[in-house]
Amino acid sequence: MDWMLIPLFFAFIAAGFWFMKGLDRFLDRQRKQVPEEAGSEQEVLLFGGTDSAKEMEKILSFRKIPYLHISKESEIDRGLVYHYLFALSDDDLDNIMMCRIGERIFSIPGDNMVSLCNSAENRKIFEEKGIRVNSLARCSGQTGVEMEALTAVSVSLLTIYDMCKAVDKKMEMEGIRLVSKEK
């Protein structure tokens, strides 16, 4: 009776290998079909209701880069795949949270995230997390902040160019100018 268990055991193992090989072929075919699904991918996740976010939306629309613009975290479509994140809210904590969501849920690398930092005290937190930062220039003395503001805009545009150059190699930076100066 024991001698019958040995061939039965080997037959069971062989059937298991045959079943697993068929399952692997099925899963490989399914993986190959996933990228062909229309609408499953957005290039950019844009967060915030600031003027910077509205300007970025105009740029993305003009360049025909697919994006999703949201103003609350709950509006994120988790069924989509994002490659870049712009967190341009007035609240630094919301921006940090969006960058963490981008990193953890959507696996967006830190180099592909740009965030607006509204407070100098929070800048270190952004830098520790590997999040690129755009800043607002302010001054309380006699001197103006024109050069600082223009430099901040130029650096922001260079950052955006660096992130999007794989998508559009013909991008140009233009229209850098001082719009207003308030005392």
Nearest alpha-carbon partner for 149 in 160, 159, 139, 141: 139
Which member of 24, 77, 111, 162 is catalytic?
Answer: 162
Cβ neighbours, 10 Å, residue 60? 20
In 88-148, where do the E strands start and end? Answer: 113-117, 132-135
Stated as kind and residue range, the H or E segment containing 5 is helix 2-33
Rounded to an integer, what distance in angstroms lies between the CA atom of residue 149 and that of residue 158? 14
- Record the tokens describing residue 154, joined without a space: 């130029």
Residue 162 annotated as catalytic: yes
Contact partners, residue 61, CB within 8 Å, separation at least 6: 67
Residues designated as active site: 162
